[in-house]
Each structure stands twice: as structure tokens, then as C-alpha cells.
Amino acid sequence: MPLDHTIARVTDRIVARSRDSRGRYLDRIAAAAAEGPRRAHLTCGNQAHAYAAMGADKATLAEERQPNLGIVTAYNDMLSAHQPFERFPDLIRETARRAGATAQVAGGVPAMCDGVTQGQVGMELSLFSRDVIALAAGVALSHNVFDSAVYLGVCDKIVPGLVIAAATFGHIPAVFLPAGPMTSGLPNDEKARVRQQFAAGEVGRDALMEAEMASYHGPGTCTFYGTANSNQMLMEFMGLHLPGASFVNPGTPLRDALTHAGAARALEITALGNDFRPAGHVLDEKAFVNGMVGLMATGGSTNLLIHLPAMARAAGVLLDLEDFAEISSVTPLMAKVYPNGLADVNHFHAAGGLAYMIGELLDAGLLHDDTMTVMGAGLRDYVAEPKLHGDTVTWETAERLTRNDKILRPAADPFQKTGGMADLQGNLGRGAMKVSAVKPEYHAIEAPCRIFHDQDSVKAAFRAGEFTGDTVVVVRFQGPRANGMPELHSLTPTLAVLLDRGIRVALVTDGRMSGASGKVPACIHVSPEAADGGPIARLRDGDIVRVDATAGTLEAVGVDLDARVPAQPDLADNGHGIGREMFEVFRANVGLASQGAGVVV
């Protein structure tokens, strides 16, 4: 089927917008690639330092005839999603030796857990950790001894940070190796019910703790469709994973076999062979369009509205919120995975998963098939499922049917005709709203606003019984310049209780919400932020605010905002404690949220 007209138009617009920056980027990575295998340029002393601890691999490294694979790992055993990576370097080195090649851990990158820091001070470092990860990966690869790289990371900021690094070192190939989701535990809807009961004072902390521990119970990614699992989808749609690698559980024979296969593929696509696939050519305009389509079709995390533009900038590609909105307008919502439905990612994978979805979207003309991927030429390679035969992975064409149409539906008969991501603009600035899990009657809310400068104040007002009528809750000074732009996900249970009580409520904030946010209408990432002179700083309690995802408007109704002096709260406490002192340079230099809230890009 020919490419959808809107997808083609948006792609052409991105190409035109990016022409100069993309051209400069391609020139840079071409010059780097033309210098030949990296290790050939090191002195004997340089090389001796690089190979000193490599034991039996020293001779192979010194010969410079076989590729050396760099491993950049986000392993730690505090994140359930990253704990399985402890074993991966040994598996990768084993694969390299079988191929007559070598592999070295180039370096580690930090990986914080937003589940641990949610609602805590540490969350104010979360978004900036993406840029720290990119910098740390850059340091790891700066030794210049690698012909290809594999990246071990899964969660919220980790994958975007690693992609920024992979694009920066775009003259060498990049393969991303996931760890997979934990097995299913307590159903996500039951966990959400207990959270709301706790917020309403109906159950105690013991019941809440029991539910949380039963939900997050073992190694692997959290099973809801938040940012971590949206990242995994993205890597598959953009061709940086092996097909079908995203949602295979840790500790299984197939998971280990896919790790071996990914390492082997990273060795096959270096400049030393005849199938060179540098990361910078995989990460082109069409790949980013495919990623946006995947985001809309799956109802993925709003955090990717920030991460995708930042990742793209590292490859010279310039994205805008209008691109997301237009792609959303023609992309069907094909999946219902919590918080957009009751199923978790294991259920989604069993129902047909990404292979089914990619096939449907290709046939509907909604994806570019003519992209370079780590697997081959074209996204059709991803309409396949990995199968284990002995210790070897082969890929077989996936069945073109959904095994559960309450979780996964065809493009021609979706849950919604559009992807449910709206670009809102008006006299309060510009923001975004994810409506894939929001009831249609809440897509537009007009009500008096209540102004807050932190999420704890919202919860205190709720406990005091102050929300008695329809309200637009405005939580401002939560942008990257103010305090690092923390997620405000801990507000979700509180605001959801108000909705359940029949109060029409919406959230407007220059902060972020979690990828797990669901039924509460929330206009987020409002730019310019309050701390950067944004008009949201001029709102006052009682002003009528209209949040309309259908019309795409974010308005203070009947208010002359320009005639007001903006609020200027004391933000001094945001600059110290739990490491925040070290991030002043980030807060001072960060870009707009609408452009990716980047520091290094």
C-alpha cells in the first residue's frame, strides 16, 4: 500500500526542517568512518593500556583484524529492569570469542529508578540523568578502540541517553539489547484500585505495601506500558533491536539466545565486513517518524514527547510537537495495555505484540519500510518472531492475527481511529495531552483553577476537603529550569479519586507525568515554563482555564495575562540536597521542554 499522505507530508517537512543540521551531521560521521578501524590509529602504548586486562583476548586485539565490540551497560541491581544485565557481558564476550572477535565493557552509565524516586526529591535529578547517561556513554566510547557497540539499557531516561550517545558516535554500528519484562504479578488495575483506596483513606499502608510488592516482584521491566516499555517498542520500530526482542522475559533460554544473536549481529555490521550499518544511518528522519507512529499506535508514554526530539537532535533531525499531533491524527490506537487497558506487556506480547502491529501498520501505509535497520534493509524484517531451535535463534514470519482483540486490534478496526496525543496551544503556552486512556467526556474541561507550586500542596488540599467542584489544578514551577522537571505521577491517584466522585478535574503543569499516567486529563510539559517567563506564571486562583484536547487549545478565559506581574516564588530550596547542588549548570542551560529539554543536545 502507498505511504499515507499525512505520514509522507510530515516526513517531508522534517527532512526540510533538518536539511542543514542533518547534512552537517552526516558529513561529520562520514569523516569519522573514513579514518578506518579505530584501533589502527592508537600508539602501541595506547593499545597496551587498552588490552592489559584482557587475558587470552590480548593477541586477537593486537592483531587488529577482527572487530572489537564495546559494551555500554546500565547494570545495577536496584532497578529490577537492569538487574539481568549483570550476566550480559559474559554472554557477549562468549559470542565474540566464538566469532574470533573480542568484546570489552567500555563503561557503565548511571540508571536511576523513577519508581523509587517518584514523589521524592531525587526525582528532580531524573530528567537530567538522561544527559548524564549520554555524557557517560560518550566517555566510555571516547577511548576509540571499538568497531561497534552494544547498549544495555531499558528504563525511562536510560534508553534515550544511550541513543543520544549512539547517534553522537554514529560512525559505528549500535545494537540495543533489552533485558525483557518481569513475569506478570498482581494485575495493574488491582494495584491502581488499592492506590486509590489508600489515597481516599479507605485502606492502610499495610494493604498498599502488600499490593505494591505483589506487583513489582522480580527481575525485569515493570509490566505496565510506561516509559520503559515504550522505549523497548521504540527501539524495535526504529530498527535498533533485533526483531521480537523487546518483550521476552529475563532468565529464559530465548532471552539468552537473543543476547548472543544481538552481539553476533553487532560484529557482522562493522566497517571491517561487507554489511556496514553505522548508527547514524539507522537513525534517520524516517526512523524517527516510524518511532512516532509506534508511540501513537500503542498509546505510549508522554515522556517520549520530550525524549524523541532530544534523541533526534543528536542525529541532526529536528522534530516539533506538530509532527506528533499530525501523526497521531492518522495513526489508529491498536493496543490496550495498562494504563490504557487491563492487560500488561506480557499479555500484549502473547496476543501478537509488535510483530503483528508493525505488519498491520506497514500494510496500512503508516510506516516507512525503506529504512536501514540493524537487521537488514526495511522494516518488513520486523514482521517476524524469534524462535529457538536448540541454542540458535531463527526468525519466522508472524501470524497475521490477534489472539486477543481486547488487547490488540487490527489497524482497520482499532480501539480509536487516532493515537490519542494532542498538541495544545493558547495564551498559556504550549503543552501536550495523552488522551488514549481519558474518557471522551473529559477531553475538554473548563473550570476555575487552583494554583499550586508543588505536588504535596495538592495532596494537602485534597486531604483537607478543599476540592468540592470542577477544578483545573495548576502545578507550576515544575519545569526543567525550576527544579529539573520531576514526574508528578503521585498526583494521579488523588486526582482520579476526584473524577470518581463526579468532579470534573484536569491538571495543567510545566512538569511531567509518568508514562503510567492514565485517566486524568493532563496538559503537561507546558512551555515556556513558569520559571522561564511563561504565561502560566501569571495565572491566579479562580481564573477560568479551558483545557481542550479536541480543539487543541490551552486558554485562560477572559484574562489579560500580559497586564499581570508573574509569580516569583522562592526556588532556593530546589538547588541543594540529594545531589541537586551539582545540577545547577543543567538547570541554568536546559532547553525548552517542547524541544526536548536538552542540555547536551
Q: Which residues are annotated as a binding site for [4Fe-4S] cluster?
A: 155, 222
Binding residues: 155, 222
| DSSP letters spanning 536-560 | GGG--TT-EEEEETTTTEEEEET--
Using only the alpha carbons of the chain, give its radius of gyration: 24
For residue 455, the SS3 value is helix
Cα gap 598→149, rounded to integer Å: 23
Cell 555490521 belongs to which residue?
269
For residue 245, the SS3 value is coil
Q: What is the dihedral of CA 234, 237, 239, 240, to 10 degrees?
A: 20
Please report the sign of the dihedral spanned by the C-alpha atoms of residue 163, residue 165, residue 169, residue 173.
negative
* 352 CB burial (10 A radius; 0-12, 13-18, 19+): buried
Residue 132 contacts residue 110 (beta carbons within 8 Å): yes
Cα gap 438→420, rounded to integer Å: 9
* Strand duo 444-452 + 471-475: pairing: parallel
The Cα-based distances of 227 to 221, 299, 414 in angstroms read 10, 11, 22
Residue 456 contacts residue 161 (beta carbons within 8 Å): no
Start-to-end CA distance of the chain, whole Å, equals 36
For residue 530, the SS3 value is helix
Cell 547536551 belongs to which residue?
600
Cα gap 474→472, rounded to integer Å: 6
| C-alpha cell, 288 | 524517527
**CA 544 centroid distance within chain:** 33
* 499 CB burial (10 A radius; 0-12, 13-18, 19+): middle
* 107 CB burial (10 A radius; 0-12, 13-18, 19+): middle
Q: Measure the CA angle with vertex 354, ends 348 and 355; round to 5°.
A: 120
DSSP state of 271: T
Cα gap 434→437, rounded to integer Å: 8
Cα gap 129→590, rounded to integer Å: 13
Cell 544495555 belongs to which residue?
152
Closest to 68 in 3D by CA, of 76, 59, 81: 59
